[in-house]
Structure 1
Amino acid sequence: MRRSRLPDRPPVVPTAAARTAPTARTAPPLALALLGAGVFLLVLAPLLAWYVTPRAAVTPVDVDVTTVFTGTGSYFDTGALATRDRQRITVTRHVLGDVAASERSGRAVWDVSTTVDTPRTLPLADPRRAFEWTTGRWVTDRRSNAPVHCCGERPTRFDGDAYLKFPFAVQKKTYRWWDDTLGAAVPLRFAGTVQLSGITGYRFAGTVPATRTGTRQVPGRLVGRPGQGQIQAEQWYANTGISLVVEERTGRIVDASISPVTTLRAPGARRDAVVLLRARGLAFTPATRRAQVDLARADGARLVLVGRTLPVTAGAAGGVLAVAGGLLVARGGRRDGRRGGRLRWRGIGR
């Protein structure tokens, strides 16, 4: 018996529609999340460096800081009408920020109290009984550190580039430092770099030549005029050595030394008649130096974190996440095209 033979099947070819039909492309949620996070971090990095950092470098307003200078010198004892030599001199400066006034004005408003004490007056709690006591209200722009004449500042002639602190990002140049005793700004030149307790500081130095700063009523005999009763003697001030070490990022003064000299002269005289105060090398106490270094280190760390560490980390992490997310998106799309697409075939038979 003869078995019938099936005809040969014609070759099977895909239709044009099957060849040109688009395949669906979908990306895994993880890939999209990685890509989105990477783009976000890449945008965040320059914002931190160029927008946030300049606004983080502002003078604080909630300050409550006490700095103490000590050294040896001479002072005039008004009780004995004699000069006391080789005495311990202590200068204490207390700075208290007026937060309410600062927030209203947008400025840094600081109230400053400075006392000069001798061994006799130092134990007294009342600053009015100190050898010398001065107060002031200093107002500055929080970003530039420039003086601002508002908010009841004292003195009203307050001027210069640097005061209780220097501007941020200190440069190796001459700054005009406000000397409150002189009542004017003093040029301080850059005098080298100093390493202090692990931080880098710039040293600035200068002097104040003998300058008349006012008058004081005293007995005439005190200034070589015994024939006169009370007399308006001339008060003169000099500073034979100012040395300030400033942390370069924050502008905070981390070490300081001053040598003030205050004298009296008879009206029109060219020589000093009485030495009211003469001190050499009044310097920060070790405790004050440590406290200032700690504050500078903390402030500097915040600036480095916002201005360098976070932008660099955000940029690097953003680049890695964006590349990883992009690769996963591309790979996920290709897999979907291979697995999910169907081809329609045209042919004869089953």
Structure 2
Amino acid sequence: MRRTASPFSLIMLGLGTFLLVLAPMLAWYVEPRAAVNPIDIDTTAVYKGTGSVFDLEKVATVPDKTITVTQRVRGNVAESEKSGNAVWDVITTVDTDESLPAADPHDALDYQPHRWVLDRETTRPVHCCEEKPYIEGEAYLKFPFDVQKRDYRWWDNTLGGVVTMRYQGEKKIQGYTGYRFTASVPAAKTGTRLVPGRLVNLPDRPQVLAEEWYANHGIELVVDQATGRVLYAQTGPRRTLRAPGGTKDEAVLLDSRKIAFTTATQKEAVERAEEDSGRLRLVGQTLPIGAAVTGFVLALAGIVLVVRGRRHPDSSESSGSAVTM
């Protein structure tokens, strides 16, 4: 008698085949679609350091002041859904202890609102939706997903241009390993400002259109490899005024060797990076590998059971009755 395979073996074979098909789909289809920049972002990063700032009341540069930089990023959901991109509104304020706490960010020593529009998958700037300024480069507030060990073109908003961030190996932040990038910015003219002539060593002129110059002693960024999230940021801005056509700094508006993420900001960045990279790792590695291994085992077991379940008649047995005379 021929015996057919049991339903259980067929179920195992079917389930194993399904998991083998599901594994590459998770890795090649689902995971890339999970790696997208959010449209409802709402984060605040705080930097602290010491340096020299220009005191408007004293009309002079004052050294050894505590400097706090606050960067608030909020997603504009309505504009994001309309455009299909991530539209992020950013407010950056610079304060000293005298201007903190401030009920209104406009009361800060420096206040800069701007909008960054980025492709949700590649993180590259998109020029639409009343973007201001015209941001360029490969990264700004974050790096692309799946950060590589190479140099990246980073947008410096104070410079109004792109800076090459050079890969410098790995570095731990709050016990979490990220990729480290560094750069410096040579002095460059960034604009003009109407000021009293005496501020730029032109006492005979009541007002003058002084040149604004910017340099950076050093930028350091430590980035999560999977998500591109910045775990640690350090900057050393120097902003000065020069007389029109001048070759030397006449007044220092801001000068600090190091303004960096506070410990609280570092911990929050690491916590979010661990969560986000963990989700990407789950759908991109853990689940596909688990599905592939489980599917292979189930399919193999199902095939074995099906083969064993199909037993053919023995060829030595007689196929009919004997003929008698």
TM-score normalised over the length of structure 2: 0.95
| 2:226 alignment partner, one of 221, 227, 249 | 249
| 2:33 alignment partner, one of 50, 55, 58 | 55
Partner of 1:296: 273
Q: How do 1:18-97 and structure 2 match up within 5 A?
A: 23-97=1-75
Partner of 1:345: 321
Matched, 1:313 2:279: no
Q: How do 1:1-350 and structure 2 match up within 5 A?
A: 23-155=1-133, 157-334=134-311, 345-346=321-322
CA drift of 1:173 comes to: 1.3
Q: Deviations over 1:123-146 (max 9, x none)?
A: 121011100000111011111111
Of residues 32-41 and 326-335 in structure 1, the stretch that sits farther from structure 2 once superposed is 326-335
Distance in 2 (alpha carbons) for counterparts of 1:279 and 1:245: 20
CA drift of 1:196 comes to: 2.6
CA drift of 1:334 comes to: 1.8
Distance in 1 (alpha carbons) for counterparts of 2:84 and 2:4: 52
Q: Tell me the C-alpha RMSD between the 2 structures.
A: 1.8
CA drift of 1:105 comes to: 1.8
CA drift of 1:277 comes to: 0.7
CA drift of 1:328 comes to: 1.4
TM-score normalised over the length of structure 1: 0.88
Distance in 2 (alpha carbons) for counterparts of 1:103 and 1:66: 23
Q: Any gaps of 5 or more consecutive residues in structure 1?
A: 1-22
Distance in 1 (alpha carbons) for counterparts of 2:184 and 2:207: 33
Distance in 2 (alpha carbons) for counterparts of 1:172 and 1:82: 44
What is the SS of the residue equivalent to 2:301?
helix
CA drift of 1:225 comes to: 1.1
Distance in 2 (alpha carbons) for counterparts of 1:186 and 1:46: 38
Q: Any gaps of 5 or more consecutive residues in structure 2?
A: none
- State the AA in 1 paired with 2:166: R
- State the AA in 2 paired with 1:49: A
Distance in 1 (alpha carbons) for counterparts of 2:194 and 2:97: 25
What is the SS of the residue equivalent to 1:154?
coil
The percent of aligned pairs where both chains have the same amino acid is 54
Distance 1:219 1:109, change over 3 A: same
Distance in 2 (alpha carbons) for counterparts of 1:254 and 1:342: 80
CA drift of 1:236 comes to: 0.6
- State the AA in 2 paired with 1:243: E
CA drift of 1:104 comes to: 2.3
Distance in 1 (alpha carbons) for counterparts of 2:152 and 2:56: 37
Considering only CA atoms, is the larger Rg found in Structure 1 or Structure 2? 1
Distance in 2 (alpha carbons) for counterparts of 1:92 and 1:195: 23
Distance in 2 (alpha carbons) for counterparts of 1:83 and 1:45: 62
The aligned length equals 323
Q: Deviations over 1:199-225 (max 9, x none)?
A: 321111111111111111111112111
Distance in 2 (alpha carbons) for counterparts of 1:121 and 1:208: 28
Q: Deviations over 1:51-93 (max 9, x none)?
A: 2222222112221110000000111111121221101000000
Distance in 2 (alpha carbons) for counterparts of 1:271 and 1:281: 23
Distance in 2 (alpha carbons) for counterparts of 1:204 and 1:175: 9
Distance in 2 (alpha carbons) for counterparts of 1:76 and 1:299: 41
Q: Deviations over 1:244-300 (max 9, x none)?
A: 001111111100110001111111111111111111210100000000001111111
- State the AA in 1 paired with 2:191: G
Distance in 2 (alpha carbons) for counterparts of 1:87 and 1:73: 5
Distance in 2 (alpha carbons) for counterparts of 1:224 and 1:254: 42
Distance in 2 (alpha carbons) for counterparts of 1:121 and 1:279: 18
